[in-house]
Each structure stands twice: as C-alpha cells, then as structure tokens.
Amino acid sequence: MDGSTKGRVALVTGSSRGIGRAIALGLADAGFDLVLNDIDRQAVFLAAVKAEIEARGRRAFVVHADVSRKAEVTAMVTEAIAAAGHIDAVVNNAGILIANSVEDLEEEQWDAVLDVNAKGTFLVTQALLPHMRARRYGRIVNIASIGGKHGAPLQAHYSASKAAVMGFTRVLAQEVGANGITANCLCPGIIVTDMGRTNLSDKANVAKWVDITALRRLGQPEDVAGPAVFLASDASAFVTGQSLNVCGGIVLS
Ligand code: NAP
C-alpha cells in the first residue's frame, strides 16, 4: 500500500475473531488505525486483537455494541469518533448463521439472522453517514457472502440476509457517491472460521467444497483481508456498488 492510508481510521464490526479479526490486522498492516467492535461477551478476545494491533504500532480502540440495536450503534459511533478523531472506513463484518430448513425455521431464528446481518449493516452505515458526508470521504465495505448469490440448504434466511446486504449496498453507492463515499461488498466463499465450520461438518463435505474450488483449498480468514484493504483504501477510488467474490473460484451450480 502507498502512503494514502497514513492517518486513516477504520471501524470493523465483529472483529474479535474469524474474518473480522483478520481484516482488522490486515488494515493495521496497511497503515490504518482501528476501532474494534464486537458484542460484550467477546471482550477478552477483542482486547487481545487490540493488543495485536498496538504491537504493530497502530492505534486501536474498543467499542462494544450489538450492531442490531440502534441505541447501541448510535452510542458506538459517537464513542468511536470521539476516541479516534474520525472514521474513514467501516467494514460491516458482524454476522451470524443459524442453520435450519425453511420448514423448521422459527420466526425468532429468521429475525435474529436478518437483524444482525442485514439490519446491523444498515444501522452502522446510517449512523456513520453524517460524519462521512461532512468529511466528503468514506469507504463502506459490507461483508456479504457467496451464500447471498447462490445459497446452500439450511441457509435460506442467511442467504436472504446476504442478498439484502448486496441490494442495500448497490443503492447506497448511488445515494452517497456524490459525497466521495464508496460502498462495496465482499462475498467470501467457504472460510475456515467458527462460522465456516458449519459447512464443514464432515470430511466428505470438506472434500466436496475443495473439489469445486478452482484453487483446490478452503479459504482462510487472511484471504479476505487483502480485498478488504483494497476496498477500504484509495486503491479502489473508482469502484462502487460492486460485490466481489473472495472464494478461490468456487463453482456452484
Ligand atoms: P465468526 O467467526 O462467527 O465471527 C463473527 C463475529 O461477529 C463474532 O465474534 C460474533 O460474536 C460477532 N457478532 C455476532 N453478532 C454480533 C452483533 N450483533 N454485534 C456485534 N458483533 C456480533 O464468523 P466469520 O466466519 O468470521 O464471519 C464474519 C462475516 O463473514 C459474517 O458476516 C459472515 O456472514 C461472513 N461470511 C463468512 C463465511 C465463512 O465461511 N466463514 C463465508 C461468507 C461470509 P459472537 O460469536 O459472540 O456472536
């Protein structure tokens, strides 16, 4: 990365582990200071990520909030701007997956997944927009999923939530572009995290996923970091409203 990330600050939601943690560390390596968010119960892990970022010579601040609750999100954004001075980029990464069939899916499970994955992305973005518009600069990176384009059995509500994130992002890009703000999605494939293991329950399953992936391996959280740094930086200044697969060339029919 060139010097354009110097002094830049990124907020990454759900960054105590998995893809969020890898993105936060990748952004720190690229020169960003970080505001780290996760839910209260992840305080110990989030503190460890903060220490890892500080060890890289970057500033790191922790703001706990449940991204699906508007009051908590509003407080988080206020606290983040006060602590870091400003926010240049946000990575809406916090997400959940509760596997269940359409027939057995409970209303609460549908609501929980849509609330965190789709509404959380909307709430955090909405809370940050006045700040980004005032500065006439912003990079919004929403973590969707190839599941939002293709989907797999037992994930109809998850697929719906990620399709919602992509639709939201396409319209958002059009509404905010004139103010120097870009909005894009990353669509990870099968990434080995606690959530990703839901798709990797047995060896046959793993072999199946590897077999239909051009690069013949599963993704690691770090594989998502580079594309996130690209979309959070000025290297992607003329890219907006897009949904980029980060899936090793997985072919889903
Ligand atoms: P993960 O390992 O489960 O990490 C997600 C993090 O988000 C957890 O620390 C989680 O905390 C936190 N979180 C959950 N609900 C939250 C809320 N309401 N507010 C704030 N933080 C919250 O998952 P991951 O695999 O890294 O996934 C990260 C993102 O990538 C998600 O949006 C996911 O849908 C997407 N993705 C993942 C894959 C994959 O294969 N792993 C593929 C495509 C897309 P708790 O654990 O305490 O709930």
Q: Is 248 in the pocket of ligand 1 (CB under 6 A)?
A: no
Query: In this structure, is residue 122 part of a structural domain?
Result: yes
Q: Going by DSSP bridges, is the β-strand pair 138-143/181-188 parallel, antiparallel, or unpaired?
A: parallel
From atom 6 of ligand 1, which residue's Cα is the shortest distance away?
A: 14
> Residue 100: phi, psi to the nearest 5?
-170, 155
Ligand 1 centre distance from Cα of residue 39 (Å): 11
Domains in the chain, number? 1
Return the ligand 1 atom nearest residue 120 CA: 18
Give yes or no: 158 in active site. yes
Q: What is the pLDDT of residue 46?
A: 97
Domain carrying residue 139: 3-246
Query: In this structure, is residue 251 part of a structural domain?
Result: no
Q: What is the pLDDT of residue 6?
A: 83
- HSE of 110, CA atoms in CB hemisphere, 13 A: 9
Per-residue tokens: 65: 């909030």
Best residue among 13, 15, 39, 69 to mutate for probing ligand 1, ranked by most atoms within 8 Å of CB:
39
**161-214 pLDDT tens trace:** 999 999 999 999 999 999 999 999 999 999 999 998 887 888 888 999 999 999
Contacts of 38 (CB under 8 A, 6+ apart): 13, 14, 15, 16, 20, 45, 46, 64, 94
Is the pTM above the cut of 0.95? yes
Q: What is the pLDDT of residue 205?
A: 85
Query: In this structure, is residue 10 part of a structural domain?
Result: yes
From atom 17 of ligand 1, which residue's Cα is the shortest distance away?
A: 66
Query: In this structure, is residue 80 part of a structural domain?
Result: yes
Helix (H) or strand (E) holding 205: helix 203-211
Query: In this structure, is residue 162 part of a structural domain?
Result: yes
From atom 25 of ligand 1, which residue's Cα is the shortest distance away?
A: 195
Per-residue tokens: 170: 């396409």
Helix (H) or strand (E) holding 124: helix 120-135
Q: Residue 4 pLDDT > 80, yes or no?
A: no
Determine which one of 110, 122, 137, 158 is catalytic.
Answer: 158
Q: Is 188 in the pocket of ligand 1 (CB under 6 A)?
A: yes
Ligand 1 centre distance from Cα of residue 95 (Å): 4
**128-139 pLDDT tens trace:** 999 999 999 999
Query: In this structure, is residue 53 part of a structural domain?
Result: yes
**98-149 pLDDT tens trace:** 999 999 999 999 999 999 999 999 999 999 999 999 999 999 999 999 999 9
Return the ligand 1 atom nearest residue 42 CA: 47
Q: Give the CATH number for residue 200.
A: 3.40.50.720
Best residue among 13, 25, 193 to mutate for probing ligand 1, ranked by most atoms within 8 Å of CB:
193
